Amino acid sequence: MKRFFALLQPIWEFGAALGRRLHFLVTSLALVPSALARPRQFIEQLFYVGSVSVILIAVGGLFVGLVLALQFYTALSRFGATSSLGGLVTLALLRELGPVLTALLFAGRAGTSLASELGLMRATRQIDAMEVMAVDPMRRIVAPRFLAGILAMPLLAAIFSAMGVLGSYLIGIKMMGLDPGVFWSSMRHEVRFHSDFVNGMIKSLIFGVACSLISLYEGYHARPTAEGVGQATTRSVVISSMAILALDFLLTSFMY
Amino acid sequence: MRQIRTLEVTTGLFVLLGVAALFYLATQTTNYRSYGGRSYRVRAFFNNVGGLHVGAPVRLGGVTIGRVNLIRYSMTRYQAEVGLLISDHYDKIPADSTAAILTQGVLGEQYIGLSPGGAPTFLHNGSTIHFTQSAIILENLLGQLLTHAGHSGK
Amino acid sequence: MTTAALARPWTGTPDLEPPPGPNAIRVRDVHFGYGSRVVFSGLNLTVPEGRITAILGPSGSGKSTLIELMTGQKRVLRGEIEVGGEEVGALSRRALFRLRRRMGVLFQDGALFTDLSVFENVAFPVREHTRLAEALVHHLVLMKLEAVGLRGAHSLYPSQLSGGMARRVALARSIVLDPWIMFYDEPLVGLDPIAMGMILRLIVHLNRSLGITSLIVSHDVSEMLEVADWCYLIAEGRVQGAGPPAAIREMGSPWVRQFVSGGPEGPVPFHYPGRPYADDLFGAVRPA
C-alpha cells in the first residue's frame, strides 16, 4: 500500500505544480484590467519585453526567410514549380515558423529577463517589501509584465514573418530572377486570410500567454538566493520552449 | 524625464512597426482582398463537382474574381449546388455565361472558370448560372479513351 | 522594585508577564515550523505600545520569521498573534492590507526597488496609497529624506548607495506614510560603526519624537541594550528571558550570560554535534 502511494507521489506533485501555475494564470488574467488602468507601467514593460527584442526578431526573421527561400527554391525547381515559391514561404512563415521561432526567441530574450528580474526582486526581498507596504505584487509587478508579454508576442511574430517575406523576395526575385508578378500572386492565391494568417496570429497570442506566464511564475517563485535566481532563469527557458513546441502541436492539430 | 521620453517613443515605434507588419501580412500576402470588399452570391448546379472544394478560385479569363463559398447536394434537383462569391467590381457578367469546373495543369487544383455569354442582363446577387459544364473525371476519360482505342484497333 | 526583580530568567514556563502599559502586539502560544523543522514551540510575548522593544536571539532562532508572522506574510500553525487588537492570522487579505498600511518594515538589506531612484522609492507608498498632488508628494518625500539626512541623494539609484545609506533610504520609505508601528529586521547587520550609530539614532529619534512603537529584531546585543526599553531573549523556539536592559545584563542563566557577553564557551557548544573525533579519524567504518 505504501509503495502504491509512493508511485502516486510524482503524479500528485505534477498535478499540484500544474494547479499552482493555473492559479497564477487566473490571478494574472484577472488583474489585466487593472494593468490597463495604469498605462504608464504597462508601456514601460512593453518597452522591456517588446522594443528590446525587435532587432533580434527582425534579423532572425530575415535570415529564416532567406534560408527558406533558398531551400524551397531548390526543392521546387526539381518539380518545375518555382512559381509557387512566394506562396510556400509565406505559408510556412505565417502558419508555423513565424509564431514558433518568435516565441522561442522571445523565451530566450524577454522571458529570461523577466524571470531573472522577478527572481532578483524575490531574492532582494523587493517583493516582500511591496507586500508589507500593502501593495499587491501580483498587481503591481506581475500584471503589467504579463499584459505586455501577451501583446508583444503577436506584434513580434508579425515583424518576424514580414521580414521573412522580405528575405524570400530577396532570394526569389533579386537572386534567382523569378518574375515578381508570379511571385506575389502565388502568395495571394495560396495564402488564406482566415485559416493561415488569423490562425497563425492566434497561435502567437497563445504562445505569448504561455511564455510570459512561465517566465513570470518561475521568477516570482524563485528561491530567494543567487543560485535560485539562476535556476529560475534556466527553468523559464526550458519550460517555455517545451511548452511552445507542445502547444504548437496541439494548436496545429486543432486548427488545420 | 528625458529617459522616459525615449522609452515611450521607442515603445510607440515598436507598436507601430508591429501593427504595420500585421497590416502588411494581412492585406498583401493573403487573399484578404477577395474576402473583404463587397461581393455578391451566385449559384450554379453541376452534375459532378469532381475534386472542387470550398475556397477554390472563380476565374474569368484567367483572372480571379471570386471564390467558391459553398458546395452541397441539392435533393430537389439531384445535382451538386455550388455557391460562388464574386467581387462587386465584376458586376457586368452576362446572365447567360457558362460556368465550368476546370483543372489547373494536368493534376492541379480545380477551379471554376466563367466564360461570358451575350445576354444584355447581368448576374446579380441570388441569380443562378444556367449553363454549366461538370468536372472532367480523369478515370472516365481514360476509360473512354481505352474503349475507343480498342474499337479502332479492331 | 529593582531591575533584577523585573527580569524573569528562564524557569521552564513560557508564560512571562507582559511589561506594564498598553500593548501593541500580543503573541500567545505560537507554534511555527517548516516541515519537520520547528521554529517556535509555544512562544509568548507582548510588545508595549510607544516603546522600543528588542527581540534578541542567535542566528537561526527565528527572529526574522517572527516579524513575518506579525506582518501576516506567514501564518502560525497554532496560537495567535494580535497586532493593534486584530488577530493577524484570521484577517482576510483586504483587512490584512488595511492593517499593513499602519505598519512599517525595515528589511535586513533595505529591499529598495532597484529600478527606481531614491526619490521614487520613498514616493512609492505615497503614490500607491494616496492621490496626493505631485507637489505635495515632492514635499513629503523630501521631508522624509531630510529626516534621514539623504535629501541630497534623492536622484541617485540604489546601486549607487552604500549599505548604510540604502538602509536609511529604506527607513525613509517605511515611515513616509507615518506608520503606527515599525518593525526593524536586523537593522545593524553588515554596517560599519558610524552607519550603525546613525541608524540607532534614527530609530530612537523616531520613537521618542513621533511615539512610533518599535520592534527590533537583532543579535547585536550590546547595541540593543543601549536603545531598547524592553528586551526579549529567544532561542530554541521560545522566550528564554525578558526584562529591561539592565535586568538582562544581570540575568543569571548561563545561556543568557554566554549570549550577552559573546563568549565561545558555555551552554551553546562551539562544535556541531557529531561522533567522537577519534571515531571519525580512526574508526573502521568511514562516515557516510
Q: What is the pLDDT of residue B148?
A: 79
The CB density around residue A184, as the number of other CB atoms within 10 Å, is 19
| C240, C255 Cβ separation under 8 angstroms | yes
Chain B contact for A99 (CB, 8 A cutoff): no
How near does any CA of chain A get to the CA of C112, in Å?
6
Is pLDDT at B87 greater than 50 in this prediction?
Answer: yes
Give alpha helix (H) positions in C130-162: 134-147
Nearest to C26 by CA among C87, C75, C68, C74: C87
Distant-in-sequence, close-in-space partners of C160: CB < 8 Å, separation ≥ 6: none
Distant-in-sequence, close-in-space partners of C109: CB < 8 Å, separation ≥ 6: A124, A125, C163, C166, C167, C190
| B112, B99 Cβ separation under 8 angstroms | yes
Distant-in-sequence, close-in-space partners of A111: CB < 8 Å, separation ≥ 6: A211, A212, A214, A215, A236, A237, A240
C-alpha cell at A201: 496570429
Q: What is the pLDDT of residue A103?
A: 97
Residue holding cell 524551397? Answer: A72
Cα C50 to Cα C20, C80, C135, C228, distances in angstroms: 12, 22, 32, 12
**Using CB atoms, which residue from A50, A90, A152 is nearest to B29?**
A90
Question: Do C and B share at least 3 CB pairs under 8 Å?
Answer: no
Q: What is the pLDDT of residue C18?
A: 52
Least confidently predicted of A62-66, A108-112, B69-73, C182-186: B69-73
| C115, C101 Cβ separation under 8 angstroms | no
Q: Which of the pair, C287 or C180, is modelled with greater confidence?
A: C180
Chain B neighbors (3+ CB pairs < 8 Å): A
The band of B89, judged by pLDDT with boundaries at 50, 70 and 90, is: confident
Q: What is the pLDDT of residue B64?
A: 79
The whole-angstrom separation of Cα C201 and Cα C216 is 13
Q: What is the pLDDT of residue B154?
A: 47
Is pLDDT at C218 greater than 80 in this prediction?
Answer: yes
Q: What is the pLDDT of residue B2?
A: 52
Q: Is the dihedral of CA C202, C208, C211, C217 positive or negative?
A: positive
Q: What is the pLDDT of residue A252?
A: 93
- DSSP for C33-93, written as a single string: EETTEEEEEEEEEEEETTSEEEEE--TTSSHHHHHHHHTTSS--SEEEEEETTEEGGG--H
What fold does the segment set C21-50+57-102+219-288 form as a domain? Rossmann fold (3.40.50)
The whole-angstrom separation of Cα C137 and Cα C177 is 11
Distant-in-sequence, close-in-space partners of A215: CB < 8 Å, separation ≥ 6: A107, A110, A111, A112, A114, A115, A149, A236, A240
How near does any CA of chain C get to the CA of A169, in Å?
43
What is the dihedral angle through the alpha carbons of C240, C245, C250, C254, rounded to the nearest 10 degrees? 30
**Percent of the residues in chain C that have a pLDDT greater than 70, as a whole number:** 88
The whole-angstrom separation of Cα C133 and Cα C137 is 6
The whole-angstrom separation of Cα B14 and Cα A180 is 29
Q: What are phi and psi of B124, to 5 degrees?
A: -140, 180
The whole-angstrom separation of Cα C162 and Cα C171 is 14
The band of B3, judged by pLDDT with boundaries at 50, 70 and 90, is: low
Q: What is the pLDDT of residue C8?
A: 44
Q: What is the pLDDT of residue C7?
A: 47
Residue holding cell 543601549? Answer: C226
- Highest mean predicted confidence (pLDDT) among A71-85, C2-16, C21-35, C194-208: C194-208
Q: Which of the pair, A162 or B135, is modelled with greater confidence?
A: A162
Which helix H or strand E contains B57, and what residues bound it? strand B57-60
Q: HSE of A95 in the Cβ direction (CA atoms, 13 Å)?
A: 20
b/e burial code for range C19-36 (CB count within 10 A of at least 16 → b): beeebbbbbbebebeeee
Residue contact A159–B25, C-beta within 8 A = no
Q: Which residues pair with B132 in a beta bridge?
A: B99
Average pLDDT score over chain C: 85
Q: Which of the pair, B110 or A173, is modelled with greater confidence?
A: A173
Give the number of beta-carbon pairs within 8 Å between A and B: 84
How near does any CA of chain A get to the CA of C204, in Å?
22
Is pLDDT at C288 greater than 60 in this prediction?
Answer: no
Chain B contact for A188 (CB, 8 A cutoff): yes
Average pLDDT over residues C236-262: 78
Least confidently predicted of B118-127, C201-210, C276-285: C276-285
Q: Where are the domains of chain A?
A: 37-255
Chain B contact for A131 (CB, 8 A cutoff): no
Chosen for mutation from C115, C126, C131 (greatest number of chain A CBs closer than 10 Å) is: C115
Is pLDDT at C15 greater than 50 in this prediction?
Answer: no
Q: What are phi and psi of C43, to 5 degrees?
A: -85, 135
List of chain A residues with pLDDT < 50:
none
Q: Which residue of B has its CA nearest to A187?
A: B29
The band of B82, judged by pLDDT with boundaries at 50, 70 and 90, is: very high
The band of C6, judged by pLDDT with boundaries at 50, 70 and 90, is: very low
Q: HSE of A81 in the Cβ direction (CA atoms, 13 Å)?
A: 12
**Using CB atoms, which residue from C98, C111, C125 is nearest to A124?**
C111
Q: What is the pLDDT of residue C3?
A: 42
Cα C5 to Cα C16, C142, C250, distances in angstroms: 13, 46, 10
Q: HSE of B83 in the Cβ direction (CA atoms, 13 Å)?
A: 14
How near does any CA of chain A get to the CA of B7, in Å?
7
The band of B59, judged by pLDDT with boundaries at 50, 70 and 90, is: confident
Q: Which residues pair with B114 in a beta bridge?
A: B60, B99
Residue contact C101–A120, C-beta within 8 A = no
Is pLDDT at C264 greater than 80 in this prediction?
Answer: no
Q: Which of the pair, C165 or B57, is modelled with greater confidence?
A: C165
The band of C109, judged by pLDDT with boundaries at 50, 70 and 90, is: confident
> Model-level pTM?
0.79
Residue type for C266, please? G
The whole-angstrom separation of Cα A188 and Cα A98 is 18
The whole-angstrom separation of Cα A203 and Cα A254 is 11
Is pLDDT at C221 greater than 80 in this prediction?
Answer: yes
**Using CB atoms, which residue from B11, B21, B26 is nearest to A193?**
B26
Q: HSE of A62 in the Cβ direction (CA atoms, 13 Å)?
A: 7
Nearest to B129 by CA among B88, B79, B89, B55: B79
What is the dihedral angle through the alpha carbons of C262, C265, C268, C270, rounded to the nearest 10 degrees? 100
